[in-house]
Each structure stands twice: as structure tokens, then as C-alpha cells.
A and B are shown apart, each in its own frame.
Chain A
Amino acid sequence: MNAFRRLVQTLITLGTNSYLLFPFGGPVIYQGPLKAICHPGLNCYSCPAALLSCPVGAVQNFVAGLRYTQAGSLPPLGTMVLGYLGFIGTLVGRLPCGWLCPFGFLQDLLYLLPGRKLSLWPPLRYLKYVVLVVMVLLMPLVVVDRYGLGHPWFCKLLCPSGTLLGALPLLALKPALWETVGFYFWNKITLMVLILLASVPISRFFCRTLCPLGAFYGLFNRLTLIKLDYLAGNCVHCKACAKACPTGVVPYETQGSPECIMCLKCIDACHFHALDFGLRQYKEAPRRLTAPLPPGKNP
């Protein structure tokens, strides 16, 4: 299963970043109709090879434009992106993190590098919700210029995918842009290097601590159409699943954890068939009896 996941991750990463004309006199970034579609994972739309838009960038730009009003027109509300991400989240939860996200794939590859492996300090997991609320939703709405236009603060302050796939290639292709970079660029470069370095000893460091997209998808992990089944009768609590999990979930203790990226490594690791992957069954709530019971019969 893991080899199949690697294949999917490779194909998605290459397939959604397959605009290759930028070095040969074409536009510096792809400007076709596919940019109206968001990538389900974190993939900077300013990457010269990117075919799709970034969902987090799109949400921030929609929010940033809400207070910028032109006479006689309403700003676009961005409900399309919210609906798109919410639909994916409700169907499959954080599965895009495990299977489709190019930056998650990069972190998986970095974790394969040899060296001492560390576990994450658990409270850091909550930081990604702060990033989602503060940098993606509040700051673009509140911190606005005199025209009422906000900025995509997550892209500007933190996003390592934007730095790696967008900023560095663009600066290489258009050296004139070097004259415009300042504090924000060097801040982002520093954070990107730290995040990439932390991804070598700590599995999926960015996904677990800072990714706002993962935080959003994770909200739906308890409701998703597909789910991880735990068959308690087969489990011997050998913790093989917990050791294999890249996000530190203990599958036999918590089902539907917002940290689970549905990579299915735990199923591969379990030799006792205590874990399975399937569709969530709809369970109707037990109905109350309304007919009167015969005399002398207790319910």
C-alpha cells in the first residue's frame, strides 16, 4: 500500500506541476483555465510549473478582498473555494494530506533521510489551528490598507511551499525581483530552512504543527465517508500501528483523530488484521417504541 501511495504522490506532484514552457520563452507562470481549480493540497500557484491554484492562497485572497468595495459591486465571497474544500473534507478528511499534497510528499522524502528520529511535543499540534484562524482568516480581514484591501499573511509570513516552489524559482527566472525583496523574504527563507530541517528528524513536522489546510481538513475526520476500522477483537496492543504512524496517532485508542492523514501505514504495519479501511456505514438511531405494551409486560 505504501508503494502505491508513493506512486500516487509522485504522479500528483508531477502532474499538477507540469507546465514546462517557462524556461523556453513562455509566460513565467502557467496562465491557462486550469488555474480556476484549486489543488487539494498545499501547492503554490506562483510556482512556474504549477497548473492549479493554491487553496490556502485563494481563501486568503478572497478574505483579503472582502472589505475592498468598488462602487456598485460586491466583492467575490470565495464560497466556491470554501465549498470545494469542505466537500473534500467531508468526503475524505485529511486523505489529501497523505496522498495528494506535494509539500507533504516532500516531507515524507525528507524523513527517509538517515539520522536520529524524534517525536513531536504534542501541544505543538494545536498551533496549526491558530495559524488557520489568525493568519488565514483574521489577519487578511483585519489588517487592511487605506483602500480596505488586506494581504495573504500566511503566504507573506510563513508558507514554506510558497518560498520553495514560488519565490526561489521566480527569483531565479526574474532576477529583477531581487530588488523588491526585503524582510518578509528573508523571514520566509529562514522559516522554510528551519521547517525542512525539522522534517528530517520529525515526521511531517509542518503538517502536524503549522499547516492550516490540514487543520481545516482535520475538522471533518470524524464524519468522513471513508474511515479507518478498528477491530478490537484482533488487536494485541503491540503498538506496531502507532510506531508506523507518521503523525503520531495511536489508532487503537482514537478513531477519527484530526491528526490522521489516512496514509494507511498502520494497516500495513498490523500483522493481526486489527485495522481496516472502508466506507462509514450510516447507523439509524434506535427508534422508541410508541405502541402501548400489553398489560403486565414491562419494557
Chain B
Amino acid sequence: MSRKAIWLLILFTLLFLIGVNTGDLEYLMNLGNTICLACIGVG
């Protein structure tokens, strides 16, 4: 595995952890629990 890939894995892990700790999890849960009107094509 290249050194670049290892750094990318570390970077993405950090991004994931930052997101989890800044409210992304709750936002995603609320998002997933509502019907996506855009997916239906409302408008």
C-alpha cells in the first residue's frame, strides 16, 4: 500500500470523526427519516 494511501486513510478517518462529533450523525438521521421530495420529483 502506498504512503499516499495511508495518509488518505488517516485524513478520511479524521474527517469522519470530525463529522460524527459536530452533529453530522443527527443531521443524517433526521434526513433519512423524512420522505425525500426531491427524489419523487416534486416541484
Contacts and interface: CB of A to CB of B under 8 A. Distances in A.
A29 B33 contact: yes
A176 B13 CA distance: 43
Nearest to B4: A223
A79 interface: yes
Interface residues of A, number: 63
> Considering the complex of A and B, which 6 residue pairs feature the smallest CB-CB distances, nearest first?
A80-B19, A35-B32, A83-B16, A185-B41, A83-B15, A162-B39
Given A35-B33, A90-B9, A225-B1, A80 B16 contact: yes
Contact of A87 (B12, B20, B23, B29): B12
B39 A82 contact: no
Given A152-B36, A163-B39, A181-B42, A45 B31 contact: yes
Nearest to A226: B1
Interface in A241-285: 279-283
A170 interface: yes
A81 B5 contact: no
A151 B37 CA distance: 10
Contacts, number: 162
Nearest to B25: A36
B24 A80 contact: yes
B10 to A, nearest CB: 10
A232 interface: no
A83 B25 contact: no
Contact of B41 (A52, A82, A87, A181): A181
A149 B27 CA distance: 15
A171 B36 contact: no
Given A36-B28, A91-B9, A280-B2, A171 B40 contact: yes
Interface of A: 28-29, 31, 33, 35-36, 38, 44-46, 52-53, 57-58, 61-62, 65, 74, 76-84, 86-87, 90-91, 151-153, 155-156, 159, 162-163, 166-167, 170-171, 177, 180-189, 220, 223-225, 279-283
A84 B31 CA distance: 17
Contact-residue size bin, chain B (C-beta under 8 Å from the other chain): 35 or more
B5 A44 contact: no
A210 to B, nearest CB: 16
Nearest to B5: A223
Contacts of B28: 35-36, 38, 53, 58, 80-81
- The residue among A162, A186, A189 with the most chain B CB atoms within 10 A of its own CB is A162
A84 B41 contact: no
27 contacts: A28-B35, A35-B28, A35-B29, A36-B25, A46-B35, A46-B40, A52-B32, A53-B28, A62-B24, A77-B18, A79-B15, A79-B19, A82-B12, A83-B17, A86-B11, A87-B12, A87-B13, A90-B5, A155-B36, A180-B37, A180-B42, A183-B43, A184-B42, A184-B43, A220-B8, A281-B1, A282-B2
B16 A282 contact: no
